[in-house]
Amino acid sequence: MSPATRSILSLLGTRGVQVAIGPFLVHVRSELTGVRDYLERFYDDFPMAEGGEGHFDLAVVAGRGMRRWVRPQASIVINGARPFLPLPALLAGASMEWGMNWCVGRSAHHWVAVHAAVVERGGRVLILPAPPGSGKSTLCAALVCAGWRLFSDEFALIDPDSGRVLPIPRPISLKEASIEVIRRRDPQVVFGPEAHDTEGSRFVHMRPPSDSVRRADESARPGWVIVPRFMAGKPTTLERLPKAQALMQVTDQSFNYNYLGPKGYTCLAELVRETDCYRLEYSDLDEVLALLARVTAS
Amino acid sequence: MVAKQLIWTHYDDGDEWVVYDPFSADIHLLTASARLLWTLVSDEQPHTIHDLVVTLAAELGRSPDDELTAVTRETLSSMDRAGLLRPMPS
């Protein structure tokens, strides 16, 4: 970590720190060492500044009363409100990440947001829209380890005026067996400590590649929409997805196109028109990476 | 029934249609036949089921039998429930 970043982070508990994450400026404040450790480990490459304001104001604060000392807790305060119940203090860093997801999902209505993993290669973006549990973050992490640029493991942000996709690279969240799968694929990848989330699932965060963070202001045109589904023990299949059905899938995974009215819908309809659409079932990452390399090279 | 202002999307790789209702923000996937039926009732003129079935049968190249009549009724009912139609002004 650079001395400048260390100096800025020393203000985390007082004036707070402004972090540039893709198109957003996030103001973070916390006295908790867990949050500072988290930022040091995962956000070292991100542009940071002292204090300032942000599109989102996040504070991670210690529990009140007994909860400061006995089974300590942390609460996330977003723009002055506490939308979530307190979490164990061990999850303070992760709670900041989850808070950012909440902010983007609720507030990023300049763009059409789709719940999807997004990566880029050769100036074209691969969008993997899917509900939780479909294996999109695992596939996203494997693609990133294979050299694709990380846009996001959580959101496709699409500019409704230009149709371009904006990067918002952040730590990738991996759960359960995916942790070991990705750890084996690339021993160089930096992971955070393992913990259990609010649903009891074992998870870690994976540090985003420095190059992806450095290029966070480089948007790109969509190239492919691939709807993934992890199917343990099943052979890998990649089939053309009729575009009308692809549009249904993409709108189903968008939580804000309706805020933009017809403009939001038209944005997604044109995204699908512009891209090659597939349905993917997979269980073997090596197979699927080879398959996607062939499809996206053509 | 007459049709509302809706946004329809069609792609060259299939015959299905996607329709977006700006009033409800709902999106529906329709077959080409359902889209044809919607087009027939969207002229703001009253239609009998018999007329619709005869026209559909001619367009689809099949006979206007009981099965087509039942499917037509069901499709109109589904489109009505989905908010794709509204009562014709009296």
Alpha-carbon separation of residue A214 from A3, A7, A49, A263, B30 (angstroms): 19, 20, 16, 31, 44
Check if the beta carbon of residue A146 is closer than 8 Å to that of residue A287. no
- Rounded to two decimals, the ipTM of the complex is 0.90
Q: Token digits for B39? A: 């087009």
For residue B40, tell me if it sits in a domain.
yes
Which member of A244, A261, A262 has the closest CB to residue B18?
A244
Query: Tokens 């002004």 correspond to what residue?
Result: B89
Tell me the shortest Cα–Cα distance from B20 to chain A, in angstroms. Answer: 7
Q: pLDDT band at residue B40, thresholds of 50, 70 and 90? A: very high
Tell me how far apart the alpha carbons of residues A57 and A109 are, in angstroms, rounded to a whole number. Answer: 17
Beta bridge partners of residue A128, listed in sequence order = A117
Q: pLDDT band at residue B90, thresholds of 50, 70 and 90? A: low
For residue B90, tell me if it sits in a domain.
no
What is residue A243's three-state secondary structure?
A: helix
Check if the beta carbon of residue A129 is closer than 8 Å to that of residue A225. yes
Tell me how far apart the alpha carbons of residues A129 and A148 are, in angstroms, rounded to a whole number. Answer: 17
Domain count for chain B, please give it.
1
DSSP notation for B34-62? HHHHHHHHTTSS---HHHHHHHHHHHHTS
The residue-averaged pLDDT of B20-41 equals: 94
Cβ pair B11:A272 closer than 8 A? yes
Share above pLDDT 90 across residues of chain B, in percent, rounded to a whole number: 77
Size of interface A-B (CB pairs under 8 A): 44
- What per-residue confidence (pLDDT) applies to B2? 57
- What per-residue confidence (pLDDT) applies to A195? 84
Q: Give ∠ CA A39-A42-A46 in degrees, rounded to 5.
A: 80
Check if the beta carbon of residue A151 is closer than 8 Å to that of residue A119. yes
Q: Which residue in A241, A243, A259 has the most chain B C-beta atoms within 10 A of its own C-beta, making it the best mutation to test that interface?
A: A243
Cβ pair A262:B20 closer than 8 A? yes
- What per-residue confidence (pLDDT) applies to A23? 93
Q: B60-79 burial by CB neighbour count: b if 16+ within 10 A, else e?
A: eeeebeeebbeebeebbeeb
Q: Which residue in B8, B20, B21, B24 has the most chain A C-beta atoms within 10 A of its own C-beta, making it the best mutation to test that interface?
A: B20
Q: pLDDT band at residue B42, thresholds of 50, 70 and 90? A: confident
All residues of chain A having their beta carbon less than 8 Å from the beta carbon of residue B22 are 261-262, 265
Tell me how far apart the alpha carbons of residues B77 and B71 are, in angstroms, rounded to a whole number. Answer: 10
Cβ neighbours, 10 Å, residue A147: 11
- What per-residue confidence (pLDDT) applies to A247? 98
All residues of chain A having their beta carbon less than 8 Å from the beta carbon of residue B16 are 242, 244-245
DSSP label of A164: P
Cβ pair B7:A244 closer than 8 A? no
For residue B79, tell me if it sits in a domain.
yes
CATH number for the domain that contains residue B50? 1.10.10
Tell me how far apart the alpha carbons of residues B74 and B90 are, in angstroms, rounded to a whole number. Answer: 24
- Which residues form the domain of B20? 2-85
pLDDT of chain A along its 298 residues, tens only? 778 888 888 888 889 999 999 999 999 999 999 999 999 999 999 999 998 888 999 999 987 776 667 677 888 999 888 988 888 888 888 889 999 999 988 888 899 999 999 999 999 999 999 998 899 999 999 999 999 999 999 999 999 999 999 999 999 999 999 999 999 999 889 998 888 887 888 999 999 999 999 999 999 999 999 999 999 899 999 999 999 999 999 999 998 999 999 999 999 999 999 999 999 999 999 999 999 999 999 7
For residue B80, tell me if it sits in a domain.
yes
Q: Residue B1 above 80 pLDDT?
A: no
- What per-residue confidence (pLDDT) applies to A68? 67
Residue ranges per structural domain of chain A? 3-107, 112-297
